[in-house]
Amino acid sequence: MDSGLPAKRTIADQVAELIRQRILAGQLKGGQPIRQEHLASELGVSRIPLREALKQLAAEGFVAIASHKGAVVAELSVVEVEELFDLRLRLESWLLEQAIPAMTAAQLDQLERIVEEQRRPDALPRWGELNRRLHETMYLAAERPITLKLLKNIHDKIDRYLRLEVTMRAGRDRGLAEHKTLVACCRRRDVAAALALLERHIKETERGLVAALKGR
């Protein structure tokens, strides 16, 4: 199976990536049943790695698995996006305001390294992970572990939607530019500018995702 993915990845990982990309590209629509026997034959794999791949995708929110009914592509929800991003804005603004005055040089250096990783041509499959790392690292200095745990749960749910965003070049380029500027604001200890940019960053990402979902 030629997926263009690194050989060290398992067959289940490769199958999951192929199905994920088909969902993001709209080739598999929300609510559409996944015909496992047909898909296994098409990809040249057994049912075992295919089932493992579907479990992985279910954990990520890409598919829903029901007993005796099999797997279907999960629906993307505009309402869910709006609620999740509203929560992001409220929590992250508060965390960033607390964190900036206490950020260490090592934390600022780490933020810049993550942004550089996002600039790499091979970063696309890891965009959601890198985005989560960037935001979590940015708020560590706030020392609010309960809020950070809540935020991690929100980012886990948002990851599927961010994968949709990074398939849109304009959204990805805008996000990267805003990340770079946001880190620069943190280094200057410019809380007001950082908060204004964070709000714009979150709202623009939400608007782009909602528009993309409504256009699907």
CATH superfamily entry for domain 78-214 = GntR ligand-binding domain-like (1.20.120.530)
Report residue 180: phi and psi, to 5°.
-60, -45
What are 110-146's pLDDT values in tens digits?
Answer: 999 999 998 888 877 777 788 889 999 999 999 999 9
Q: Are 96 and 138 in contact (CB under 8 A)?
A: yes
DSSP H helical ranges for the chain: 11-24, 36-43, 47-60, 78-99, 105-119, 127-139, 145-166, 169-187, 191-214
Tokens of 116: 């550089």
The dotted CATH code for 11-73 is 1.10.10.10
pLDDT at 1: 44
What are 172-212's pLDDT values in tens digits?
Answer: 788 889 999 999 999 999 999 999 999 999 998 898 888 87
Highest-confidence range of 52-56, 90-94, 129-133, by mean pLDDT?
Answer: 90-94
Angle between helix 36-43 and 11-24 (nearest 10): 110
Question: pTM for this one?
Answer: 0.70
**Cβ of 206: how many Cβ atoms within 10 Å?**
21
Summary mean pLDDT of the chain: 86
Q: Report the candidate in 47, 43, 44, 52 with the shortest Cα–Cα distance to residue 18.
A: 43
Q: Are 132 and 177 in contact (CB under 8 A)?
A: no
pLDDT at 167: 60
Highest-confidence range of 6-10, 28-32, 53-57, by mean pLDDT?
Answer: 53-57
Which run of H or E residues covers position 190?
A: none
Confidence band for 149, pLDDT divided at 50, 70 and 90:
very high
**Cβ of 59: how many Cβ atoms within 10 Å?**
11
pLDDT at 146: 96
- All structural domains of the chain with their residue ranges: 11-73, 78-214
Distances (CA, A) of 99 to 12, 53, 94, 203: 39, 38, 9, 21
pLDDT at 170: 61
Question: Does residue 17 have a pLDDT over 50?
Answer: yes
Cα 64–Cα 164–Cα 8 angle in degrees, nearest 5 = 75
Question: Does residue 14 have a pLDDT over 50?
Answer: yes
